[in-house]
């Protein structure tokens, strides 16, 4: 099946956080406060993808207040933090939305993401992911995590679904 054939039916795209929405670094202060660096290009890509009618979700094993704030800023209401079994979370989400696995994509970067990546219609990853993860991805971004990888994937999906031009039109007046 071609990449375009995998993208066309997508109605849900879920993302891991560390190493996908961020560069994977964990910044901890002496007081234990956690900091993460998010990319504004990625954020706008997510907003365009959501505006095109694709549901967005974040499924992450860690729990962080800054991820909650970022999701709220982007209008992502399907936020699942502290998840030990990402596949069970994805399956519950698919059931809630009444979607087949083929209508979902997941972007991950480590072996803990493989159970989900192996069961969705489109598995996405980043260049720094371990080889085994990249081997199971249908698409590996050219851009690095936290440096436009998510934007690249959003535009890839928008383009294949024929909605990219409509999302860019307001900026080209």
Q: Three-state DSSP class for 89? A: helix
Core vs surface per residue 75-114: b (16+ CB within 10 A) or e: ebebbbbebeebbebbeebbeeeebeebbbbbbbbbebbb
For the annotated binding site for Mg(2+), the residues are: 16, 109
Phi, psi at 114, each rounded to 5°: -60, -40
How far apart, in Å, are the Cα atoms of 82 and each of 8, 30, 75, 132, 134? 31, 22, 20, 24, 24
For the annotated binding site for substrate, the residues are: 18
For the annotated binding site, the residues are: 16, 18, 109
**Parallel/antiparallel/unpaired status of strands 122-125 and 55-59:** unpaired
Q: Which residues contact 4 (CB under 8 A, 6 or more apart)?
A: 160
Question: Is 106 in contact with 123 (CB distance < 8 Å)?
Answer: yes
Among 76, 72, 68, residue whose Cα is nearest residue 93? 76
Q: d(Cα 57, Cα 75) in Å, to the nearest integer? A: 10
């Amino acid at each position: 099946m071609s990449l375009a054939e995998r993208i066309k039916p997508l109605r849900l795209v879920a993302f891991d956080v560390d190493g996908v929405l961020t560069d994977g670094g964990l910044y901890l202060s002496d007081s234990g406060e956690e900091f993460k660096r998010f990319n504004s290009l990625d954020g706008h890509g997510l907003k365009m993808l959501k505006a095109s009618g694709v549901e967005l979700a974040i499924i992450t094993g860690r729990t962080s207040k800054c991820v909650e704030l970022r999701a709220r800023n982007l209008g992502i209401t399907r936020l699942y933090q502290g998840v030990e079994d990402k596949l069970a979370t994805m399956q519950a989400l698919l059931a809630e939305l009444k979607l087949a696995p083929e209508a979902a994509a997941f972007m991950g970067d480590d072996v803990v993401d493989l159970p989900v990546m192996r069961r969705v219609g489109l598995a996405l990853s980043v260049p720094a992911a371990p080889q085994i993860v990249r081997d199971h991805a249908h698409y590996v971004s050219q851009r690095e995590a936290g440096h436009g990888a998510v934007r690249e994937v959003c535009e890839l999906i928008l383009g294949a679904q024929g909605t990219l031009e409509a999302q860019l039109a307001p900026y080209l007046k």
